[in-house]
Structure formats: C-alpha cells, structure tokens
Amino acid sequence: MARGRRLKRRRRSRKIRWRSRRGIALALALAAIPGLYLLAAILGGLIPVNRGWTEPARGITIYIADNGVHADLVLPVRVGALDWAPLVPRSDFANPPAGARYVAFGAGERRVYLDTPTWADLTLRTAWAGIAGGERVMHVEYIADPTYSAREIRVTPEQYRRLWAAVRASFALDPKGLPQKIDHPGYGPGDAFYAGNGRASAVQTCNQWLAGRLRLAGIKAPLWSPFVEGLVWRYRKADYRDPRR
C-alpha cells in the first residue's frame, strides 16, 4: 500500500514538473515574439529591393510625410493625363484647401483609422485589431503645400506612372471604376476615407503598404518595413524651397 502511494506521488510530481516546464517554455516563446518581430523589422528595413535604382537628375518629385509612426505618400494632383481629381473628387471632402496641388495617401486597418481620430482615442481593443488584422482602408487628404513632408524622391515619368497605378489599385473600386468613399467624417475638412483592397495587420502595416507601392514602381525600397524608421532613412530630406519646381 505504502509503495503504491509513493508511486502515485511520483507520477503526480512528474506531471506537475512537466506542466510547469511546458508553461515556462510557452511563456518564453511568447516573450520572444516581440524581439523576433523587431529583429525582422530591422533587417527588413536594411535590405533593399530594386537596389540598382538611382534617382534621376530630372523628373517628378514625390514626398513621404510621417509623424514618427505612420507614413503617407504625397503625390501631385495631376501629372499629364494622370489625374487624381476625377477619382477622389473635391466634392468628397468637406472643405479641401483652395488650389491644393498635392494629395496624400495612406493605408491602414479600418478600426484603427476610423475609431482613432487622435492617439488618446486608441484602446486596447482597437490596437489589437491593428495587430491581428482587418479590412484595409485608404485615407486621402488634399494638401496645399507638401513641404511639411519629411522626405522627397525624384522619379522618372515611367516610374511615376507605375506608382500612380499601384496606388489606384489599392482602392476598392465600384462598377464605374471609382473609389468607394466611406460614410465617415475625416480628421479634418480636407481628408476622407475610402474602401481599400486587402487587409492591414502587424505584418502589412501602413508603412509596409507605402514601401510596397515604391517597390512596384521600380524605386529602391526596403524589403519589409513595418515601422516608419526602416522606410524613410534611405531618401533625401525634403527641400523646403519652391515645391512647384
């Protein structure tokens, strides 16, 4: 009898130790995920795609604007036949700046964009939606002066054509081929939200979306850059002279 009780106690002790080790291993694995994500982001930001690209001496100037977390792609309203005005008409906006010659484009997860007009409005539930992933939404804003941007890139007409097409393809279009405006107030009088294609997540972030558009245009860009720091460092600081040059 005594021997049987000792055997049972040993079995219980082994089960407890095994469960404890499994719990520790799981905790360590979960703790390692943020570190691995950060390491991958650093490496992805350093590895270039289209590494042979060089900035032309003359061409079309585009901009990257960022607030330290999120980056927007700022493009001219019109370059030749490539015109954003018919696709995102000023009538979609409450009060766009008069004579605005640039449009800023950003992509993000629907709940993060629509439910977070300021960082103070960010909740754990919304933050998790941005990490886990959800429907992509496009944010568009008419800009009077692009010189608030952090970086600028000069591209050839062909590269700009490809970039323009890549941005347009990010919108979910209606049967008439027009972007579908979301019935939601913008952050201000000059911006609006549109339905996007695909999903946004911790892997496909707003910054990675922008890097992807540059890659599709044949412009040098990071392999994977979920953070803005891994994206903007390789481009020239914006020149604050006349933006109409």
Q: What is the pLDDT of residues 97-110, one digit of tens each?
A: 998 999 999 999 99
- In this prediction, residue 243 has a pLDDT band, given cuts at 50, 70 and 90, of very low
Residue 201: how many other CB atoms lie within 10 Å: 17
R_g over Cα of the chain: 24
Higher local confidence (pLDDT), 52 or 245: 52
Q: Specify the pLDDT at position 122.
A: 74
How many whole angstroms separate alpha carbon 43 and alpha carbon 184?
Answer: 37
Reported as a single tens digit per residue, the pLDDT across 116-134 is 877 777 788 887 877 888 9
The number of CA neighbours under 13 Å toward the Cβ of 177 is 3
Q: Is 195 exposed, middle or buried (0-12, 13-18, 19+ CB in 10 A)?
A: middle
- In this prediction, residue 6 has a pLDDT band, given cuts at 50, 70 and 90, of low
Q: Specify the pLDDT at position 115.
A: 86
Higher local confidence (pLDDT), 80 or 21: 80
Nearest Cα neighbor of 79 from 169, 160, 154 is: 160
Q: pTM score, two decimals?
A: 0.84
